[in-house]
Every structure is written in structure tokens, then in C-alpha cells.
């Protein structure tokens, strides 16, 4: 009988050399699922309220996205990773389990959620996880975080033009931003035409995978080539009202 754990187990093998004890992380992934679903009765972290739904849609999704990025991350001795709009900790907490040498920072604007993330990191014994409460458009102007990360990521946060403006200022020159999306991004990619270049980046590839529930997904990679102009990101009202892209340029 196929279970969510049996589906994920072989996907974890490429990460084994990154784990000094070579301990299998499936047990801690199961603990993470339990923590999130228990917390979901107190605050809305996910619409997928059962393990049968949560494993493929969130845990497997995070593991497959990590597998797509593994060569990039494994090449760094101690990568700094930022999860923007971390919510219940997907993918950030999963990635910390897979890449224990990485410094993973979880950013969310809601204190109730970051309190949960802090507790989950303690219970999972993830000392390399930091949790920040704040808005990305504000924190990206903080010198401690601006262009300070080897990899920034976001999942189910915002349309691509807005996401690029929020995330790319965090990526170090030479680093990258990975947007985890569904596979069909034709409209969002068209809306974001020219945006990476305005922010000091370029599109560097698309990594596709299909989850066991049949959902086709894509990781969009943007390589940071130069500093992001200091005026970006703009404030939340400007981001929502006039996102960067061809539509703004023609207005």
C-alpha cells in the first residue's frame, strides 16, 4: 500500500550526505505535520486539514522543490535561505530538515504565526532556524537583510510581478530567488516581463515536477546579477495598485 511517507522516502535520499548523522528525517516531517494540523485548530494555517491531503500538497511539494534546487544549495558551505510569507513553515521548516547546514530565516507578518514557527523550530530541534515578524516590503530596506541571502523563496504568496519586487531585494548579488508556483504560469510570466531586469536579476531557468496527487508544479529561478535599485520594494499600497511590468509601463 502506498502511503505519503513511502512516496516521499526515496525523494530524501539525495539529501543524505547533507545530514551528518544520516538520520532519516521522515519522523520529524511527520512531527511537523502533526504540529501544523494541531495548530490549524487554533489559527488558519492551511485549508488541507487531514494528513492525507497535507502530505502531498505541502510536505511532498516542499521536498520536490528542494530536490530541484539541491545542486545549487549543496554547492554552498553554509547557505542563507529566506522563506517569505512562511505561514505554517512550508517550505522553510522542511528545507531546514533537509539542509541542516543552512541558516533558514522564516518571515511572516503575523505574530500569531511566527509564535507558532518559533515553537515548531524548537520542537523539531532546528537551531539554524530564525523567525522574523514583519512585512517583506519594509524588511527589505533593512541593511541586515537587504541582499543578504543566497536563496530567497516564496510559495503561494502573491502574483509574480509583486513577488519579484518583494523578494529580489533580499537576494545577494550572485544569489537567487526561487518562486514555487503551479506549472502553467503563462499569464504571470507575461505580466512580469522585464521586471527581473529592473530589479537587478534575470530569469535563470524553470524546474518542473509533478506531485503524487497529479499536480504539476514549477520552480521559477531568478539569478541576482547586480544590486536592486534602492527604491524597491515600494510600499504595499503601491505594489497592489501599480505592480511592475508591461501594464505599468504602458499606463
Please write the tens of the pLDDT for every residue from 167-187: 999 999 999 999 999 988 999
Give long-range contacts, CB 8 A cutoff, 24+ apart: 6-10: 7/55, 7/56, 7/60, 7/212, 8/55, 8/59, 8/60, 8/63
Q: What is the pLDDT of residue 190?
A: 96
Q: For 201-221, write each residue's pLDDT tens digit.
A: 999 999 999 999 999 999 999
Q: What is the pTM of this model?
A: 0.95
pLDDT tops 70 at residue 54: yes
Average pLDDT score, the chain:
94
Mind listing the pLDDT tens digit for each residue in 56-91? 999 999 999 999 999 999 999 999 999 999 999 999
Domains and CATH numbers, the chain: 4-13+23-249 (3.40.50.150)
Q: Is the peptide bond before 159 cis (omega within 30 degrees of 0)?
A: no
DSSP 8-state assignment for residue 55? I
Comparing CA positions, the residue from 45, 32, 236 lying closest to residue 134 is 236
Q: What grid cell was written down for 180?
A: 514555487
**DSSP letter assigned to residue 102:** S
Amino acid at each position: 500500500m502506498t502511503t505519503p511517507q513511502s512516496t516521499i522516502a526515496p525523494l530524501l535520499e539525495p539529501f543524505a550526505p547533507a545530514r551528518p548523522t544520516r538520520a532519516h528525517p521522515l519522523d520529524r516531517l511527520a512531527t511537523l505535520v502533526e504540529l501544523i494540523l494541531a495548530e490549524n485548530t487554533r489559527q488558519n494555517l492551511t485549508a488541507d486539514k487531514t494528513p492525507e491531503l497535507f502530505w502531498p500538497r505541502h510536505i511532498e511539494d516542499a521536498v520536490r522543490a528542494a530536490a530541484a534546487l539541491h545542486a545549487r544549495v549543496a554547492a554552498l558551505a553554509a547557505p542563507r535561505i529566506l522563506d517569505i510569507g512562511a505561514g505554517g513553515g512550508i517550505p522553510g521548516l522542511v528545507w531546514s530538515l533537509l539542509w541542516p547546514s543552512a541558516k533558514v530565516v522564516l518571515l511572516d507578518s503575523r505574530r500569531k504565526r511566527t509564535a507558532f514557527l518559533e515553537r515548531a523550530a524548537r520542537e523539531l530541534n532546528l537551531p539554524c532556524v530564525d523567525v522574523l515578524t514583519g512585512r517583506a516590503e519594509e524588511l527589505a530596506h533593512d541593511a541586515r537583510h537587504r541582499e543578504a541571502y543566497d536563496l530567497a523563496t516564496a510559495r503561494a504568496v502573491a502574483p509574480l510581478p509583486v513577488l519579484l519586487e518583494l523578494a529580489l531585494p533580499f537576494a545577494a548579488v550572485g544569489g537567487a530567488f526561487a518562486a514555487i508556483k503551479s506549472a502553467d504560469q503563462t499569464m504571470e510570466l507575461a505580466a512580469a516581463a522585464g521586471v527581473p531586469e529592473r530589479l537587478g536579476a534575470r530569469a535563470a531557468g524553470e524546474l518542473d515536477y509533478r506531485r503524487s496527487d497529479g499536480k504539476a508544479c514549477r520552480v521559477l529561478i531568478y539569478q541576482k546579477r547586480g544590486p536592486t535599485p534602492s527604491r524597491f520594494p515600494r510600499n504595499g499600497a503601491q505594489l497592489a495598485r501599480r505592480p511592475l511590468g508591461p501594464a505599468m509601463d504602458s499606463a
